[in-house]
A and B are shown apart, each in its own frame.
Chain A
C-alpha cells in the first residue's frame, strides 16, 4: 500500500542568492583569477551561482592574509576574546539556521529534514563547544609537561573539506583551529561552496578580525596549491583516501603537521539477539542517511545467519517506505546524489556488483526526471572479495554479508584497509564491549549509528586517516606541544 503525501516544500525565499561569488580573503570578497565555475542544484541541475576559482596566486594572497592576521592580530588576541568571537559565530549560525539549512539542501541535495535537524544544529554546537576552549587551553593537553605556559597554536592552517556535509565539515575544521589561536584558509568542495561563502558573511557580521578566516573556492588544483604552500603550518583534510595519500606525499619532509579524515567501509553487525526493528532503523540510518554520502556509513551489513531472513524481509519492507525526491520537501528521506560524477561512480560500482554475481534489489521508486538520483539499493549474496564489499561507494548502496560466530563477525569487519567506524547490534552488554574492543575502528556505535557530537572524538584507524576531530582530542591537532 502506498501512502500519498501532499508536497510540503520548504520555501527557498529565505535564501538570497547572488549570481556570482568571489573569494573571501582578508575580510573582503575579492575576484578570483581563475575560471569561474557554476554551482548547480543536484536535484534540478539548475545553476545556482557562479563561483570564483582561486589560482595559486590567489592561494598565496589568502595565505599571506592569514599570516598577517595571525602575526598582527589573532596571536595577540586573548583566549577570552577569541572565545567570545566564536560564541558570537555560534549564535549567528543559530539565528540564521533556517537560511543555512535551505541553502545547504539546495546546493548539496540533502533532505531539508537532515540539514535542518542534524547538520546546522551540529554546526552551531561545534562552534559553541570550541568557543569555550579558547580561554582554557592550559587544560587541553593534560599529558603536556611544564603546564605553566599556555600551549601555542601552530600558525596558519590550510583546510580542505568535502561536499557531503559542507558546513558541518567547515565547523569541524574552523572552530577548533580558531579556538587554539590559529588563522585559517579553507577550501570547500567545488560542488558545495555556497554555505561556506555564507559563513564568510557570518564572520563579517561577527566582526571577526580580517584575515582570521579566509575562504577560497576551486577544485583540486586550488587544493594542491594550498597544501603545498610553504607558509602553511598545518594541513587538515577530509575526503578520499586517494587524495589523502597525495597530501601525505606532498607534506613529507616538511614540518607541516597533518590530520587526515578519509574513507571508510564500515561494518554494521547485527546479532541474533538484537532488537530487530531498532537494528533495521539503524541499518537504514547507517547507509541511507545523507544518500550514503558519509565516510562512516554502515555500508557493509553483517547479519548473523539465524536472523538473516527476518532482517532482510524487514529491511526491504522499511526501504519501501523511504521517500526519495525533492530535498526541500520536508517529507523527503533520501535526497539527490551530489553530482553527476558521483552518480556515475555509484552506477559503475553497482554494475560491478551485479557483474561479480551479487543480487541487486531496490524498492519500487519513482525518481525525478531532472537531477542526479539513485534509488536506495541493497546487494545480497556478497562475498568479501567483491569490489562492492571492499571499495567505498559513497552512495545509497548496501552490501549484505552473513556470519555465524562473533569471531567471524570480527574477522570480516576488520578485513578492510579502512578503519573509520563500525556498528554493533545486540542485547548483550558484555558482547558489545568485547566487540568494541576487537573492532579496529575509530568510532564504534553500539545499538545506534551515525551519531555525532562536538564533545566526542571522531577519526579513523589504518587507511581511514589519522588525527581526531571533536572533543579535547580535536584541539590537539591545532596546538604545538
Chain B
C-alpha cells in the first residue's frame, strides 16, 4: 500500500437518548445508502423500547428545560447554531450524499438550517409577548395569560429534507420549552445523528432532544399511544393518510395535541411563521384580586 493513502476512520451512527449515544437495545441496524444506492453506513434501527427510554429521558429533562429562563434557552439554541457552523462542511457532505444535491445547494441548505436555529433562538424570550396577554376583565382582578410548553413532544421529522427539515421541526418545539423525542428520516438519518453530536456539545441538557433513527413505523405507534407524551407532530408521515390517521387515533388516548401530517412535505426554505411554536404551547390564565 502506498504511503500517501490512508484508510479513513468511519463513524458508528447510534441513537441519541438522554444525552448519550446508545445502540438500539434491539441490537438491530439497517443499511443506509447514498442517493445513488452506494453503501454509506449501518444506522441503528430504533425499537419500541428505545422509544420508551427516550420518553423517560425527555420527561426527566422537562422540569429543568421548561423551568430555565427564556434567555437561557435562547443562548443555548444560539450555541447550537454556533457549533453547527463549525461543522458546516461535514453536514454539507452528508446532505450531498443523502439528498443527492449539488455541493452548492447542499451548502445553502446547511446555511438555512443554521440560520433557522438562530431565528428560533431569538424567539424564546419574545413568544410570550406576542401570544400572551393581560386581560381587561370586568372586575377588580389582575388577569393575565401566558404561553407554557405542552410537555414531552414526539416529533416525526420529515423524510426528505434530512437536515433543514429536521432542524425546522425540532427547533420550534424546544424553543417553546418542550422536550422532544424525534424520529429522523429513515433513509437519510446521518445528518440527524451528526446534529445530535452538535446538541451534545452545545450546552443542551441531556434528554431535551432525543433522536431515534430507523423506520417511523417501528416507533411512531408507541409514541402516539404513549400516555406520558403530551403532543405529537406528524410531519414525518406526510402524504401517508392511512398511517397518519392511525397515529391520530392512537394519540386520542391521552388527548395529545396533534399537529397533523400535511399532504406533502412542506418547502422548508419558506419562512416558517410561528405555528410550529404555538402548536406546542398551552395558554395559562391567572387571576388575582386587586384591593388594598
Whether chains A and B associate is: yes
Which A residues lie at the B interface, using CB under 8 A? 125, 142-145, 241, 244-245, 248-249, 252-253, 255, 260, 262, 417, 432, 436, 441-448, 451, 453, 455-459, 461-463, 465-466, 468, 471-473, 481
- A193–chain B nearest beta-carbon distance, Å: 28
A143 / chain B contacts, CB cutoff of 8 Å: 130-131, 273-275, 278
A-B pair number, CB within 8 angstroms: 110
Q: Is A453's CB under 8 angstroms from B137's CB? A: yes
Q: Is residue B90 contacting chain A, with contact meaning CB distance below 8 A?
A: no
Docked complex Cα distance between A457 and B281 (Å): 14
Additional A-B contacts beyond A248-B255, A455-B137, A457-B283 (11; CB < 8 A): A143-B274, A253-B249, A443-B284, A446-B288, A448-B289, A453-B137, A453-B138, A459-B283, A461-B284, A465-B255, A481-B273
A102 to chain B, nearest CB (A): 24
Can you sample 17 A-B contacts with CB below 8 Å? A142-B130, A142-B131, A143-B130, A143-B275, A241-B255, A260-B255, A442-B282, A447-B289, A448-B287, A448-B288, A448-B289, A455-B143, A457-B145, A462-B254, A468-B283, A471-B135, A481-B273
Complex contact A144–B141 (CB within 8 A): no
Instruction: Say whether A448 contacts B141, CB under 8 Å.
Output: yes
Task: Judge whether B141 and A451 touch: CB under 8 Å.
Answer: yes
Task: Kindly report which residue of chain B lies nearest to residue A144, judged by CB atoms.
Answer: B273
Interface pair B287/A466, CB less than 8 Å apart: no
B36 to chain A, nearest CB (A): 36
| Cα A475 to Cα B238 with chains together (Å) | 28
B252 at the interface (CB under 8 A from A): yes
Q: For B286, what are the chain A residues with a Cβ–Cβ distance below 8 Å?
A: 436, 443-444, 446
Q: Interface readout for B268-292 with A: 1 if CB under 8 Å, 0 if not? A: 0001011100100011111111000
Residues of chain A contacted by B287 (CB below 8 angstroms): 443-446, 448, 451, 456
Scoring B137, B244, B251, B289 by chain A CB atoms within 10 A of each residue's CB, the highest score goes to B137
Closest to A419 in B: B282
* B residues in contact (CB < 8 Å) with A: 130-131, 133, 135-139, 141, 143, 145, 150, 230, 241, 244-245, 248-249, 251-255, 257, 260, 271, 273-275, 278, 282-289
Q: Which residues of B contact A466 (CB under 8 A)?
A: 255, 257
How far apart are the CA atoms of A458 and B137 in the complex, in Å? 13
Q: How far is the CA of A472 from the CA of B145 in the complex (A)?
A: 11
A110, chain B: closest CB distance, angstroms:
21
**Which residue from B241, B248, B251, B285 sits with its C-beta under 8 Å from A443?**
B285
**Majority-rule SS of B interface residues:** mixed
User: Please, how many angstroms separate the alpha-carbon atoms of A436 and B284 in the complex?
Assistant: 9
Whether A447 contacts B288 by the Cβ 8 Å rule is yes
| Cβ-defined contact, B249 with A252, below 8 A | yes
Q: With A442-B282, A444-B287, A471-B135 given, is the CB distance from A252 to B145 under 8 Å?
A: no
Contact A249 B285, CB 8 Å, known A142-B131, A451-B137, A453-B137: no
Least distance between B189 CB and chain A CB atoms (Å): 28
> Residue of A at shortest CB range from B145?
A457
Decide: A417 and B254 in contact? CB cutoff 8 A: yes
Q: Which of B137, B143, B241, B273 contacts A253 (CB 8 A)?
A: B241
* B257 close to A456 (CB less than 8 A): no
**Residues of B contacting A260 in the complex (Cβ-Cβ under 8 angstroms):** 255
Closest 4 CB pairs between A and B?
A253-B245, A252-B248, A453-B137, A248-B252
CB–CB A451/B135 < 8 A: no
Q: In the complex, what distance in Å separates the CA atom of A24 from the CA atom of B137? A: 33
Q: Do the beta carbons of B283 and A453 come within 8 Å of each other? A: no
Contact partners of A451 in chain B: CB under 8 A: 137, 139, 141, 287
Residues of A within 8 A of B275 (CB): 143, 481
When distances are taken between beta carbons in the complex, the residues of chain B under 8 Å from A248 are 249, 251-252, 255
Q: Which of B137, B254, B288 contacts A463 (CB 8 A)?
A: B254
Residue numbers in B under 8 Å from A142 (CB-CB): 130-131
Out of A241, A249, A446, which one reaches B249, CB within 8 Å?
A249
Cα separation A144 to B241 with both chains bound (whole Å): 27
CA distance A142 to B126 in the complex (A): 12
Contacting pair B288 A432 (CB below 8 A) = yes
User: B131 to chain A: which residues have CB within 8 Å?
Assistant: 142-143
Q: Which residue of chain A has the shortest Cβ distance to B227 in the bound complex?
A: A417
Residue numbers in A under 8 Å from B282 (CB-CB): 442, 461
Residues of B within 8 A of A252 (CB): 245, 248-249, 252
CB atoms of A253 and B244 under 8 A apart: yes
